[in-house]
Amino acid sequence: MKVVLLQDVKSQGKKNQIIDVSEGYARNFLFPRKLAVVADAKAINDVKNKESSDKHRKDVEKAEASELAKKISACKVEIKAEAGNEGRFYGAITAKDIAEALKSQCALEIDKRKIQLDAPIKAFGTYILDVKVYPDVVGKLTVTVTEK
């Protein structure tokens, strides 16, 4: 008997998957617990519609992420840091500082966790950082650190 799963069922399948199970298992376990419905034309059509809407939503999100990555790449952020003797920082420039500067200078609100920073910046100069906007979509951000 073919059924469409309404929830993930251990050792059977994931949500919205069409599987083949015995009639007894379906009637005695899956249907009473509302874990599955019979795979008729309506249920199969609903699954296909959900899959296509999910694909469309992901395509739209990826397109928006690409636009945001272009805006990030076009933006140049300048951060002024205070330094002591021999040009050493009193602290370090972190992803949080870069995210705040990006928000104030370019009006782009990016989560600090998306800024790929190997180690905090502790020297003056220009840095090119990756900003992971979406899986497989990365923007290049130019950060210039100058002295106050």
Q: Which CATH architecture has domain 2-64?
A: 3-Layer(aba) Sandwich (3.40)
pLDDT digits (tens, 9 = 90+) for 101-121: 999 999 999 999 999 998 888
For domain 73-147, is the CATH number 3.40.1790.10? Answer: no
Contacts within 8 Å (CB) and 24+ apart, 90-93: 92/120, 92/121, 92/122, 93/120, 93/121, 93/122, 93/143, 93/145
User: Which helix (DSSP H) or strand (DSSP E) does residue 96 occupy?
Assistant: helix 95-106
pLDDT score at 124: 86
Count how many residues are written for the chain: 148
Where in the chain are the domains?
A: 2-64, 73-147
DSSP helix, strand, coil percent of the chain (3-state; round to 5)? 40, 30, 30
pLDDT score at 122: 85
